[in-house]
Amino acid sequence: MSVAVVTGAAGLIGSEAVRHFADKGLDVVGIDNDMRSRFFGEEASTAWQRQQLECDLGERYRHVNADIRDTDAIESLFRSLGNEIALVVHTAAQPSHDWAAREPHTDFTVNANGTLNMLEATRQFASEAVFIFTSTNKVYGDTPNRLPLVEQELRWEIDPAHEFAGGISEAMSIDQTMHSLFGASKVAADVMVQEYGRYFDMKTACFRGGCLTGPNHSGTQLHGFLAYLVKCATTGTPYTVFGYKGKQVRDNIHSADLISAFDHFFRNPRSGEVYNMGGSRFSNCSMMEAIRICEEITGQPMNYTYTETNRMGDHIWWISDVSKFQSHYPAWTLQYDVPRICGEIHANNAERWMESVAR
């Protein structure tokens, strides 16, 4: 039986990948030690999702409580599975700008060294496996903030005559910019994934995502903006909007749409590829627009405040150009726009959130 190894298996993208590839007939081995709760506190713990996976998937899923920085543990696991491994989906990461600045050593070793451990174990013991890495648009640093932006009533927009009017492509430089320490550690991992593809002719891809979201996201203030926003709107928890008049724009991609892209790559892989991946022009919103959507869903006003101070390295406007991926995999299409995503997050989590508040 072919095996898929998924890191960050109880997280948003990891859990979606586990379910998807288990349904496709692969045995799935998930690696996750709930570091998210250490990064962001108990509210961000992914333990609930791990329990759900084990309950729902039974023998199709095996959970490994290991740290991706532990070279011996990762090598031992890959040695035991060997050429049965057909796919590695590497989603485990420290994902926050602000948190990275608190503990740079932890951030870098998780994001960069952990990725190197996964790549080298794959090369040593399963060199024919497809290796998919969830990178980030933060590899471009704050270069997008130098784009010609126009202020509108509820959002910033790009000059329609600009080459990136349809979305930012992979042609944007990752140099001469402020990445944040998180962005820098992800650059190191991103380039290493490319290099293993080119130097060792492995089947690797970096998917440079922006806001990845969905109902399985354990959103918190420092990471998971849309899921956390819906949670605050539902529970009445105060929310803070940081800078840019609340008009900063993000494209948002549902985890199911992202995993669908992973599946297309898995079935027809390439070497050393890089793809900007997000909701594109199909699924995007400003912060103020997202607040209005949440208010419509919950039927109550959002309890939010505004501060002029924006997060360092944060983007004012980001919409992904996904045309490169679509040119390689024309059968792939996006299914979820922002209102549908927010509605699903609310429908799937409102009861659990309210029970938590009541305790």
Please write the tens of the pLDDT for every residue from 16-68.
Answer: 999 999 999 999 999 999 988 888 888 778 898 999 999 999 999 999 999 99
Give CA–CA dist 65/265, Å, rounded: 27
Confidence band (pLDDT; 50, 70, 90) for 311? confident
Fold adopted by 3-352: Rossmann fold (3.40.50)
196-205 pLDDT, tens digit each = 999 999 999 9
Contact (Cβ atoms closer than 8 angstroms) between residue 37 and residue 218: no
If you compute the radius of gyration of the chain from its CA atoms, what whole number of angstroms results? 19
Delimit the domains of the chain by residue range: 3-352
Average pLDDT over residues 232-255: 94
Is a pLDDT exceeding 80 seen at residue 356? no
**Nearest by Cα to 272 from 174, 327, 186, 198:** 198
Residue 355 has pLDDT above 90, yes or no: no
DSSP secondary structure code for residue 53 in this structure: H
Question: What is the pTM (predicted TM-score) of this model?
Answer: 0.93
Rounded mean pLDDT of 2-12? 96
pLDDT band at 9 (very low <50, low <70, confident <90, very high): very high
